[in-house]
Amino acid sequence: MNNNYKSIFEPFELPSGVQLKNRVIMAPMALSASKSNGAVTEEELAYYIQRAQGVGAVITSSALVSQNGKLLENGFGIDNDDLLPGLKTLANTIHEQGSKAFVQLYHGGRISNPALLSGGQSLSASAVAAEREGSATPKAMTEEEIEIAIDEFANATRRVIEAGFDGVEIHGANGFLIQQFFSPHSNRRKDKWGGTLEKRMKFPLEIIKRVKKVAAKHAKSPFVVGYRISPEERENPGITMEDTLQFVDVLALQNLDYIHLSVDHFWGEPRREGSSSTKSRVVMVQERVGNRVPVIGVGGLSTPDDVVKALDTGIPLVTMGHALIMEPKWVEKVQSGQEREIRTTLPRTAQKELVLPDNLWGMITNIPGWFPVVD
């Protein structure tokens, strides 16, 4: 191994006591490869087997906590106990490769697919449609529906524990329901769940509280609770970096194992009009709370030099997505001094070799510019 890359392979202990063998985590990526009821398939197991051997931990693709929040027809589910046998198999499969296994929990809220919802209408903090083509206006959730949603995250956490996983990541990013409560665009409520910045934090904080309570009750060994955030929104009004910095101050008090940023590039600067900062948004969060809670960076990290440069900012952990899709043995190749053999393009003939599910492969090859696909 190149001595320049030693920092990548230093072990790290999360606040809960869970030990990671290195600083690279597999990012959560939607596979659209589950059964229609959300059950795990052989296609998914094969995909994770190829990628779980080198990384310190795997964060699974987003797992649906409620049929009221369904986004993908073949999305991964954790919303009922019938799914436990497959979930146990997935946890065991990842562990057998030598990695820790975390499940990302989500509810689509207003960006759920109405065609997949029993009532045909999505739910959100307020009856405000997302600013994207074809978005339907959601139904504003009642107090009872809010409490049910919190219960659904708690019940999903119990299933994660029963299935033998090592932790959960609460998905408060990418425009899903939890972010919708924090956002001034989607949350126009005037009750205890909205209005001021502090009230817009209440829903995510209640979910964290309930999830941690379930973990304390049911987990027999150290159990990770992480939280993912998108630091800004393009909508106006929308989440600003100042909102996020105030929010992470509060998140840092919740005894979380980590805060995971969701950005397309690690070095990306604030994008909203009026922002004068030229600093990376990931670094801004690290400087704000990194001494109180581990911060995970992500975005455009493809070479070992990229990862070392990111870790040199003080960020203790990084997640990698595209790089591990293209090169399942990325970590092993860096560790064995074979970094020059890491794939940097994606041949159209490589699906079988890379063990990529059909739906994911279809997206990779049909969305221009998403991956460096070559003929």
Q: Could you report the per-residue pLDDT of 161-183, keeping only the tens digit for each?
A: 999 999 999 999 999 999 999 99
How far apart (Å, rounded) are the C-alpha atoms in residues 346 and 304? 18
Q: What mean pLDDT comes out for the span 63-75? A: 97
Q: Is 347 helix (H, G, I), strand (E, B) or coil?
A: strand
Q: What mean pLDDT comes out for the span 1-14? A: 96
Distances (CA, A) of 197 to 172, 189, 191, 204, 369: 15, 12, 13, 12, 36
Q: What mean pLDDT comes out for the span 325-342? A: 97
Q: Could you report the per-residue pLDDT of 105-129, keeping only the tens digit for each?
A: 999 999 999 999 998 999 999 999 9
Please report the pLDDT score of residue 133 as a whole number. Answer: 86
Please report the pLDDT score of residue 274 as a whole number. Answer: 72
Q: What is the pTM of this model?
A: 0.97
Please report the pLDDT score of residue 18 as a whole number. Answer: 98
- DSSP lists the bridge partners of residue 133 as none
Please report the pLDDT score of residue 79 as a whole number. Answer: 98
**E strand residue ranges, 36-175:** 57-59, 63-64, 100-106, 123-124, 139-140, 167-172
* Domains of the chain, each with CATH number or no CATH: 3-344 (3.20.20.70)
Q: Could you report the per-residue pLDDT of 256-280, keeping only the tens digit for each?
A: 999 999 999 999 999 987 777 889 9
Over its C-alpha atoms, the chain yields an Rg (Å, rounded) of: 20
* % residues pLDDT > 90 (the chain): 96
Inter-residue contact 164 to 90 (CB < 8 Å): no
Q: Could you report the per-residue pLDDT of 200-257, keeping only the tens digit for each?
A: 999 999 999 999 999 999 999 999 999 999 999 999 999 999 999 999 999 999 999 9
